[in-house]
A and B are shown apart, each in its own frame.
Chain A
Amino acid sequence: MELKYAYYPGCASQEMTKEANATTRLVCKKLGIGLHDMPKANCCGAGLLTDYDYQLYLALNARIFAEAEAMGMDIMTICSTCLMVMSTANRDLLADPKLLEKTNEILATAGLRYNGTIKIKQLLWVLAGDYGLDNLKKKVVKPLNWIKAAPFYGCHSLRPSDALGFDDPERPWSLDAVIEALGGEAVQYKGKTKCCGFQVDLVVAETAEKMTATRLLDGKEKGANAFVTPCPFCHINLDNYQGLAEKRASQKIAMPVFHLSQLVGLSLGLTAEEMGLSRHLVSPEKILK
């Protein structure tokens, strides 16, 4: 069966973490997963629009779903926060026909309508689910036997589970399984289901930086030589802001952090250059083989 998705990279991956978007496109091309652009798609609100006005948040997300519906495809994103924000809106709209109708009245002023037929997925779930781990294994030409990766799921791949539904929020398996399918080792540590602090980076920097440091040090202590995450926001905190976390923790951490797509790409034989690794603030060079 041919896999194809309405592709929603999310705002961060079109700007700050461009490498996540570019490498996802390369990897999906190589695996034969069809990604179809959504030129109209607006920002999901990243949780912040939910804080502003719930009904506006629902309507703007329904506008994204309406575009996917017109394309006849489910949505695939590469951002855990987009995944959670869209899935939660979709859960609420599908659970309450009156709310869906009210939201459609707002959409109607823009000539749009959402019929409630869309599912929202992320790259991680597509690889571990629709595409399948066995198929993924068959495509690996350069097993990642050099990596001891701390899988960092990020909050919004796991919770709230009644809106997301794919993985187990207490004992998540999908990212561990993908790392192992690529020939790497998944390191077990407490922080794997916990938060990176991204949402308060600009609001309470001290909390965010301490949280990032705690997660990285936890993985490091358990023997990880790298982190891997399916979420660009987690990547921003764990990699871009690692220097700030180090300062806050008064110690060097020096932990390279990969986007999920980059690890997959390396195992498929794509080069470090193609995977945009020079864009990282913490260089993964010394562990690459």
Chain B
Amino acid sequence: MKIKFKIRRYNPAEAETAEPYIQAYMLDVPEGMTVLEALLNIVDDQDPTLSFRKSCRSAICGSCAVSINGFSKLACNTQVIPEYKKAGEMLIEPLANHTPLKDLIVDFAPFWRKMEKVAPYLTPEEGAPTMAVTPKDEERVDRSQRCVMCGCCNAECNSMAIDEKYIAPAALAKAWRIVGDVREGNAKKRLERLSEEHGMWDCVRCVHCTQYCPKDVSPLKAIEELRSAAMKEGITDNPGAKHVEAMKDSVERFGRLDEAAMTFKTLGFLRSLGMIPFGLRMEKHGKLPRPHIFAQIEDLDEVKKIYEEAERRAEAEKKEMESRKKG
């Protein structure tokens, strides 16, 4: 099947290629050919100047992530024909949210800086008793350790597209790999740092990271685990955690979300005052939420019982872990 590859190119070293442009290549694509094989073919037969990263060709090294028809994928585990049939074209660009250096090669330095920020290695407590890691312990962090650092998640992250300082999903998945490890001695300190500005509470839950991870790491799940762990450690003096606490309280008391109380509890008294002019505008259109006073659903006692039982179990798990850690 003859397919036109449109590739975004850029080479700041030459005056005529210093602005990004699209170059087209025609290629005869057999069934089963991957995007990486196609790129290698183009370099061999048509244009040796085309630059991109690659190594293992089997989705292990994480080098060849590019944007294919607008979405981040590994070139080596994406087949050309199904992709072309679905999108109606074959447009290959450098990863989004990263600065291109040349053609499809992007600057990964910021990616590594974010990774370094979470200190991606275990720091056991000195003198702590040796602890056996059970299969269940391993399962908690198993998905996080599948990461091949390809950058697809960060490239898709909608929050990072707005705020480049955001720590972003790749480093957060790695942070959970460490925090969720039973041998880690500084989990609480790490969670405190992750709760700071541009940290884990900046995730907008757009689910792109999880959708486009080629290794099924599910960074969003890691972010949820981190947030849960922080709340269980009592690290709640920040808007993100307060927001979750307000939700938890609201559902427990009324069975439903109390929008008025959520705003007040998350923002606190002073910042809520600042919302008054805006609130008045909403009120004009009947949009200002009223705080709940009574139960909003039938059989609310069932909800309360579920809370009690879930919290009893969470408490028991926490105690068990503490006693294991003591040896």
Contact = CB atoms under 8 A, between A and B. Distances in A.
Contacts of B12: none
Contacts of B207: 84, 155-156, 159-160
Contacts of A111: 302
Interface residues of B, number: 66
Contacts of B290: 15
Contacts of A16: 259, 287, 289
A218 to B, nearest CB: 12
B69 A195 contact: no
Most B-side CB within 10 Å, residue of A51, A52, A156, A210: A51
Contact of B306 (A43, A110, A190, A211): A110
Contact of A202 (B204, B263, B306, B314): B263
A197 B308 CA distance: 33
B310 A59 contact: yes
A179 B285 CA distance: 26
A111 B305 CA distance: 10
Contacts of A280: 285
Nearest to A108: B309
A211 B256 CA distance: 27
Contacts, number: 188
B201 interface: yes
Contacts of A203: 201-202, 239-240, 243, 266
A212 to B, nearest CB: 10
Given A109-B305, A203-B201, A43 B298 contact: no
Interface string B281-316: 110011101100000111101110111111101100
Q: Taking chain B's interface residues, is the majority helix, strand, or loop, or is none over half, making it mixed?
A: helix
B206 A194 contact: yes
A109 to B, nearest CB: 4
A172 interface: no
A50 B286 CA distance: 31
A278 B227 CA distance: 39
Q: Taking chain A's interface residues, is the majority helix, strand, or loop, or is none over half, making it mixed?
A: helix
A240 B287 contact: yes
Interface string A239-281: 0100110000000000000000000000000000000001111
B239 A171 contact: no
Interface residues on A, range: 35 or more
A232 to B, nearest CB: 11
A278 B243 contact: no
A211 B158 contact: yes
Interface string A11-36: 11011101000000000000000000
Contacts of B166: 207
A126 interface: no
Contacts of A43: 247, 250-251, 255-257
A200 interface: yes
Interface string B75-87: 0000000000011
Contacts of A146: none
Interface in A111-162: 111-112, 155-156, 159-161
Contact of B257 (A12, A112, A202): A12
Contacts of A48: 243-244, 247-248
A47 interface: yes
Interface string A49-85: 1111111100110010000000000000000000010
Given A15-B290, A43-B247, A170-B86, 5 more contacts: A11-B257, A12-B259, A52-B248, A84-B207, A171-B87
Nearest 8 pairs of A and B residues by beta carbon: A159-B207, A11-B257, A195-B206, A110-B302, A56-B310, A48-B247, A51-B227, A195-B158
